[in-house]
Structure formats: C-alpha cells, structure tokens
Amino acid sequence: FEFLEKKPSLIKSFALKSKNDISDRFKKFFKQPYAAVIEAMMIGEKSSIDNDTKNIFINTGLIHILVVSGMNVGFCVIIFIFLFKLFNLKLKYVYLLTIPAIFFYMILTGANPPVVRAFVMAFCILISLIIDREPLVYNAIALSALIILIFNPQELFTASFQMSFTATLGIIYLYPKINSSLGGIKNKYLRWLWNVISVTLAAQIGILPVLMFYFGKLSLISFLANILIVPAVGFIVAVSF
C-alpha cells in the first residue's frame, strides 16, 4: 500500500472533530455500557460496544437501534424543524435551513448508506414542500437507491442496504393499511399507541425475510420490544442533541 498524504476537506475535518468531541462528552457523563449504546444510537460509533451488549440487542430484535439509520434522520428533521420554528420563520425558510442541518448530521455519522438514503429522501421531500409540490415518496426512495448504487454498486448485496429499504417500503406500503384497520379509535392516547404499533408492525413485516436470511433467527419478543423502545429512542435522540 502506498499512502498519499492529503488533507481532508473542511467539512469532513469539522465533522470528525465534532464526532470526537461528542464521543468524549458521552464518555464523560455516562458510564459503560450506556455511553457506548448512546454513541451508537446518536453518531453511529459502535467500536465501544461489548459483545454481551450487542448480543442482547440481537436476541431481542433491537439491533437496528444501534445503527444510525433513516429513523435517526427522521427524528433529526423533526428536531431541527421544531428549533427553527422557534425563530418565527416562514415554513419555506424552516425547511430550507433544515436541509444543511441534516446534511451535516449525515457527514457527522460517517455518511453510511442508510443515512445517505434517508438524507436524499428527506431532501427530495423538503424541496417538494419548499416549491409547493406533492412529495412522491416512492420516487424519492428510487432516487436515493440510484445515488447510493452509482457510488457503490456492492451496497445492493449488504444486509444494511436491504434492511433499510425493506423497512422503509414496509412502512410506506403497509402502515396505512394496518392503521386504517382500527380507524374507529377515538381516544387520543389509544390512537397514538395504535399508530406506534402500526408503524412497528409494518417495519417488522418488511424486514422479516432479510432478518431470517442473515441472522437465522426470529425473536418472539422483538415486536413488543420495538413498541416499547422505538418511541423512547426518539426522546433519547432529542435529549442527546
């Protein structure tokens, strides 16, 4: 191997410095294994997670929690939109400012395929909202897959890529059907609970074949665990910011 010295771009340098700083803060304020778990959830740094902790997440069907993915980007979009709205800006400007914010978060987490896919989708949807066009989600998914595969065609054969897209497609296609099956719920708390259950069930059905193929196991408690944990992840990510 021949090493050619090259200085990274200013954006990458700042992102790496920020990532290291965030990692140091988590380790300062939290004990292990909690610091390692929140590092993985927030910035995608999994090197500090021990095998016992990792196996617990695998056996309970929650390993996706330790991977920075579209879910994290979705939470980030919500958080940034909320923050920018505090300045009483027009919605178009709020959406416009959110785009560079989630772009920097993508760089911060190492620009892994699930985050890139989620960023491209979010970018397409935010742009459509800015120019008052109807967001076409399936088009956004296809565009994000195309961009990722142009730069790295081998991603098509990775579990991460397949799980990311099957979960997203499962939610988009199955969630409305599952959610509408009990559309008569009037109580707002029960309605919120059913929304969470519907999203979880749709995602689980979408990724089930991929999970069975790669891990060779089906966790019987993963559905219940996801219903309890996924809403908490949104709160943890928001507090982590």
8 pLDDT above the threshold of 80: no
Helices (H), the chain: 10-29, 34-43, 51-59, 70-85, 91-108, 113-130, 137-151, 159-180, 188-215, 222-240
Tally of CB atoms within 10 A around 191 = 14
Please indicate whether residue 15 or residue 23 has the higher confidence score (pLDDT).
Answer: 23
One-letter amino acid of 136: L
Radius of gyration of the chain (CA): 19
Q: What is the pLDDT of residues 194-236, one digit of tens each?
A: 887 888 788 878 888 887 888 777 777 777 777 778 778 778 8
User: What tokens appear for 131 in the block?
Assistant: 């120019």
Q: What is the pLDDT of residues 166-177, one digit of tens each?
A: 888 888 888 888
The pTM assigned to this predicted structure is: 0.72
Q: What is the pLDDT of residues 115-146, one digit of tens each?
A: 887 888 888 888 888 888 777 778 878 887 88
- pLDDT for the residue numbered 97: 92
